[in-house]
Every structure is written in structure tokens, then in C-alpha cells.
């Protein structure tokens, strides 16, 4: 970053490029994806062809070789216009492909990454289980037992983003019993492997175009050569990947908040009551001012954490200050995005529930996102305990008095 609070010329160009693509190509898909839980089969190949896949993967495997900061900017732009496609993208590109790139052997990288980077294959991450949410490692029941050159895996995973459409799954299973959150191993599993089954496609309240599933494994044989990382040390892969994931989940909230603010300003300028636009009313101006401040603080904090995590490798992630900061980033951005959307709902009033696609598409989906992606209370508690002595008291002492101007040729139009 050129300064502590701004983008470089190259980063700004990347954000604008991704914004233009999302506005022209992803936005037209959003309504059908949400209304019908439809998945566009040509989406990932198109993203791969345009260089939007394998963003953080080395070009030798078909990736773009860019930073986590660059990936976050792409995700922010995508989320402005199609948050379901954005979620599918980050699950594929970060949770699956980036994890394999960071932790996989050379043989695993060469075998699987090119197809993920081209969009020929769609990736997912298999961690959460029906009885294991926040305690995903300690409560894991999926088992992998060594049998010759293979592991035989039995178990189930739940709430798996991209699960119904995935060709490849980065799967975590217990290989050593009685070790709590340890004794876990990560495997790369092709979804056409015998014993791999999509038990059900979940019908969600929000982010409906992002395909989500329960996966079941019944005597599924996976070659030992498909192990990612070290046998019994999958918890290290999980924890290091978690920091990258959290830093990249936060921009989804920023993109949604940007779009909600833009739509709210446009609506306030055109909605007439008492013979004038409601944007003239001080209460509406106050809400818009708060939304703007929240959006700006979200973006600044999100970008600062993305810049920091771009300089962290897999041996440094999962512990220390960066672990707390990435958790704080997604926690703050998820909570603050909901505040932005709550205000937007008040401005739109009954329009939100009357079938207006622009407003409902932005607002009505966010409560699902908050419960699904904000860090668990345990993460909040540990972050607070670590940094309670450093958090300054800050009060909102001033407020912008006028509604924010919107240019007619706004990129978010």
C-alpha cells in the first residue's frame, strides 16, 4: 500500500477492473441465483479464463501470483453485485486452492492446482460437521484409517460451501484418536471417488445462489499421496488457513455495505414524502452519515489486515498477533455490515419486503451471513482478553449533517 490508508495505483486499477467485470457479468446472474438457488455452470471457467482464479497461487501452477490484498480487493468488488458468487469464489480460491498451495507437496500441487486455477474444477473445504461447529477440531467424528497405501474415510461434513457442485474437496479427518483437537490429517479428495456422496443440498435463508451441502463419506478410499501437510498435523493446516480465510471473508461485508449505502442514497433522493425527497430529512441524513462512517472504517480496517496478512506465510499464521487481528477484522466487518444494513432497512421501509430485487437482494440475506461467518464467541473472548489493555475508548462525537453526494455515473450504479 502506498500509504497506511490508501491503495496504490495498481491496486486501485485492479479494484476498478474487478468492479467492472462484476457489474457487467455477475450482477445479471444475481436474481436468478438467489430466487432459484441456481448455479451458473460456466461461471468458474469464465473466471479462470479471465485470470480471477488462483489469484494467490504461483503462475507455475496456473495461478496469478498476486497477494492476499489483491484477492481481497477482487472479492470486495464481486460482493457489491453478487455476494453469492463472491462467497463461492472465496471458498474455491482461498479455502481450497490457496490452502493446497500453501501446504501441499509438490506432487499434490502439480496434480490438482492447474485444474482449480483454470476453473475446470470447483473446490470446497470439508471441515464443519453436524455435531462440530465452533469446536470443529475437538468434536470431529470423521475418521480416516490407514489401509496399505490408502486411507479409508467414514463420516460426514455439513454446511459445505460449493459442496453440491465441487469436483475437489480439501477434507479433514481424524487419523489418531484420543488427541482432542490434534491427530487430524488433511486430504485432497476428488468428489467422484467411490463412497463420496452429497447427502443433501441445503435450502438457505440467505446467499442462496452459493451452493451448500451435507457431504457423507462411506468407506471412501483416498491415496496416502493425497495428504496435505503432515499426518496428524492437520490442525496446523486448519489454523494457518483460518487466518487467511478470515482476512478474506471480511471484504464480502465491505462490498455489501458499499452497495447498501449507494442504494440507500439513491432511494432517499427519489422517495418523496411531504412534498420533498426524504433525503432532506435530518433523521435520514443521520442514518446515511452513520452508514458512510461505518463503511469507511470497515474498509480501512479490512485493508490494513489484508496488507498485514499478505506478508505472513503459513508458518507464522494461526498464532500470535495476526491470529487475533484477522479474527477481529471479520468480527468487526460482519457486525458493522449489519449496522449498515439495519439503517438501510429503515430508509427503504416497506420497499424491502415488497419484492424490490435491488433492496431485498442486499439486505434480507445478511442475517444468514452474520450467523454463518462471524467468529464464534470463543474467538471473540480470546481476542478481547489478549487486547483489552490496548483498546482505546472512542465515542462518536460528531456527525455529518448533509446527505452524501452520489454521482450519476457512480461505479456502483
Q: Which residues are tagged catalytic?
A: 245
SS3 of the chain: the string is: CCECCECCHHHHHHHHHHHHHHHHHHHHHHHHHHHHCCCCCCHHHHHHHCCCCCCCCCHHHCCCCCCHHHHHHHHHHHHHHCHHHHHHHHHHHHHHHHHHHHHCCHHHHHHHHHHHHHCCCCEEEECCECCECCCCCCCCCCEEEEECCEEEEEEEEEEEECHHHCCEEEEEEECCCCCCCCCEEEEEEECCCCCEEEEEECCCCCCCCCCEEEEEEEEEEEEHHHEECCCCEHHHHHHHHHHHHHHHHHHHHHHHHHHHHHHHHHHHHHCEECCEEHHHCHHHHHHHHHHHHHHHHHHHHHHHHHHHHCCCCCCCCCCHHHHHHHHHHHHHHHHHHHHHHHHHHHHHHHHHHCCCHHHHHHHCCHHHHHHHHCCCHHHHHHHHHHHCCCCCCCCCCCCCCCCCCCCCCCCCC
Amino acid at each position: 500500500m502506498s500509504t497506511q490508508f490508501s491503495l496504490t495505483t495498481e491496486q486501485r486499477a485492479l479494484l476498478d477492473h474487478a468492479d467492472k467485470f462484476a457489474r457487467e457479468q455477475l450482477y445479471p446472474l444475481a436474481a436468478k441465483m438467489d430466487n432459484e438457488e441456481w448455479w451458473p455452470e460456466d461461471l468458474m471457467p469464465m473466471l479462470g479464463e479471465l485470470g480471477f482464479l488462483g489469484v494467490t497461487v504461483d503462475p507455475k501452477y496456473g495461478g496469478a501470483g498476486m497477494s492476499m490484498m489483491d484477492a481481497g480487493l477482487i472479492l470486495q468488488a464481486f460482493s457489491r453485485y453478487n455476494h453469492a458468487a463472491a462467497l463461492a469464489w472465496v471458498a474455491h480460491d482461498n479455502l481450497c486452492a490457496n490452502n493446497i498451495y500453501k501446504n501441499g507437496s509438490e506432487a499434490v500441487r502439480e496434480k490438482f492446482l492447474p485444474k482449480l486455477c483454470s476453473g475446470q474444477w470447483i473446490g470446497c473445504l470439508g471441515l464443519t460437521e453436524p455435531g462440530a461447529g465452533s469446536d470443529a477440531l475437538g468434536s470431529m467424528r470423521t475418521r480416516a484409517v490407514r489401509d496399505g497405501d490408502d486411507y479409508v474415510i467414514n463420516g460426514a461434513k455439513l454446511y459445505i460451501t460449493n459442496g453440491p457442485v465441487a469436483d475437489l474437496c480439501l477434507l479433514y479427518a481424524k487419523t489418531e484418536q484420543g488427541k482432542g483437537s490434534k491427530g487430524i490429517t488433511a486430504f485432497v479428495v476428488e468428489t467422484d471417488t467411490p463412497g463420496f456422496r452429497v447427502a443433501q443440498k441445503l435450502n438457505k435463508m440467505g446467499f442462496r445462489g452459493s451452493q451448500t451441502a451435507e457431504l457423507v463419506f462411506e468407506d471412501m478410499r483416498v491415496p496416502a499421496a493425497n495428504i496435505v501437510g503432515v499426518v496428524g498435523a492437520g490442525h496446523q493446516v486448519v489454523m494457518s488457513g483460518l487466518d487467511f480465510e478470515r482476512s478474506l471473508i471480511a471484504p464480502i461485508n465491505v462490498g455489501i455495505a458499499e452497495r447498501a449505502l449507494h442504494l440507500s442514497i439513491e432511494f432517499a433522493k427519489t422517495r418523496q414524502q411531504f412534498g420533498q425527497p426524504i433525503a432532506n430529512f435530518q433523521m435520514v441524513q443521520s442514518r446515511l452519515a452513520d452508514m458512510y462512517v461505518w463503511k469507511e472504517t470497515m474498509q480501512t480496517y479490512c485493508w490494513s489486515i489484508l496488507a498485514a496478512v499478505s506478508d505472513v506465510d503459513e508458518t507464522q499464521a494461526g498464532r500470535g498477533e495476526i491470529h487475533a487481528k484477522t479474527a477481529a477484522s471479520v468480527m468487526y466487518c460482519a457486525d458493522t455490515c449489519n449496522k449498515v444494513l439495519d439503517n438501510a432497512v429503515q430508509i427503504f421501509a416497506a420497499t424491502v419486503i415488497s419484492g424490490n430485487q435491488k433492496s431485498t437482494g442486499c439486505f434480507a440475506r445478511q442475517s444468514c451471513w452474520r450467523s454463518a461467518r462471524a467468529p464464534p464467541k470463543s474467538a471473540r473472548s480470546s481476542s478481547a482478553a489478549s487486547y483489552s489493555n490496548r483498546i482505546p475508548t472512542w465515542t462518536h462525537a460528531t456527525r455529518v449533517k448533509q446527505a452524501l453526494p452520489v454521482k450519476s455515473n457512480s461505479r456502483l450504479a
